[in-house]
Structure 1
Amino acid sequence: MDAIALALIAIIFYLAAATYQLLTLQRKAPVRSTVIQILGGAAILNHGLSVWLAMFQSDGVHLGLSEMGSLATFSISLMLLISSLRKPVLNLVIGVFPMSMAALLFAIWGPVSAPTGYLKTGLLLHIVLSLVAYSLMVIAAFQAVLVAIQNYQLKNKHTRGIIQVLPPLQTMERLLFELICSGLATLTLAIASGVFFLDNLFAQHLVHKTILTLMSWLVFAILLAGHRWLGWRGMTAVRWTIGGSFLLVLGYFGSKVALEILLN
């Protein structure tokens, strides 16, 4: 089975899982985690196989925009599914799984990248750490959106709708900061591995990504310090989380979009 067929199968399972969760929220019914985890697991398995076949080909490793977008969303979906085994995060599939579907569709019909050669072990470690950090921070951004919605509804005394099926706001905020702590720790390791294994982090084709990543790291570090010593929470935490995640996404994909689409 080729990468396109696997991608289409993954899209079907992603759509089924996201639709099921959306209908569950609309009906205010109890969440059946097992159903979503099985559908999501099937989607992620096919997604991962599709990414593998698209990236590792006979002429070398393909690390273009479509491949990296698909790899990143695979990592995000996988981290979300793993987290759902211990934490109440399955509501996030409504946003995360459609994002993975969009990435797969772009991988199917997007531009074909040229091979970049084979990866050294150190560079592979840097890529894996970067993907894990990126995934945790994007999941944190989706969690921040839910916290913002919940915070707004509580302040305006709206007791109907999505707020009825979400955990208490204190639990949601604690989960948000747990995601940020894990993401910042992994991002720190990713930056450190880049210092050791990349020839020059400030080379022309890396300088924008490096600066934006460091800015994102600083934003999240300030947020955690503010939460620890100044009691930052609520909408302050939401704004800093979304801002830091935006910088990370811009650094991760901005240069590839410019080089492969805008300047092509």
Structure 2
Amino acid sequence: MTAPLHSPLYPGIVARLRAAGCVFAEEEAELLLGAAESPEAVEALVLRRAEGGEPLEYVLGWARFCGLRIEVDPGVFVPRPRTEFLVERAAAEARDGAVVVDLCCGSGALGAALAERLGAPDRPAELHAADIDPAAVRCAARNIARYGGHVWEGDLFTALPGSLRGRIDVLLANTPYVPTQDIPFLPSEARDHEARVALDGGTDGLAVMRRVAAAAREWLAPGGIVLVESSDRQAASAVAAFAAGGLDAQAVSSDEYEATVVAGRRAW
């Protein structure tokens, strides 16, 4: 097809996307046009986005995260730009050859992004990921295959092989942290299309995070660290949960990413 910006379809698609409430209509129109080989295929994609309200990432089949193109299947949690801060914090703590686990992995974006940063040819990271959602496991398997990673299906640590106990250097756990009562107020793209299990964090949003905090110490290597994302108002409670689990914990926030990361370290 013609280059997206010069396509005669471009103005009409922008107008339809804008009418549907897409804030970045111009950028989305360019991506949709670039993803299809025919006007009919473009129309099918625009219908999914403008009328079906599907997340752009589902329509395209991928999301941009930490400079990588991450495959995202319908129903699988879409990696958010703010979560790049969690990867940055993890990268600052990791070393070449680290044992890395991406728990509650969704698409596997966090594990893939960290493995990319730890990509020493002679000492690549040993990468594992796990999720309770079979659709997420299938998606993550494709994204971390390029790093020689392994994906496991199951509930938090029960999904992992016992050989990882006491060996994990960096544990990324982007647990759901939206309070149950707040789910109806999420944007429709998340509320209506992403798996509920990837969003719902229980009464105060910290139910899954507390389970991670309680069990992380026995899975971490000496000096190993677990990192999770939370909201500012949850940070103090999350730090307390990690401290109760026997970890040295702290919270760090970023104005640039509008994100908060809570980290818990196992003492040597």
Q: TM-score, normalised by structure 2?
A: 0.29
Higher helix share: 1
Higher strand share: 2
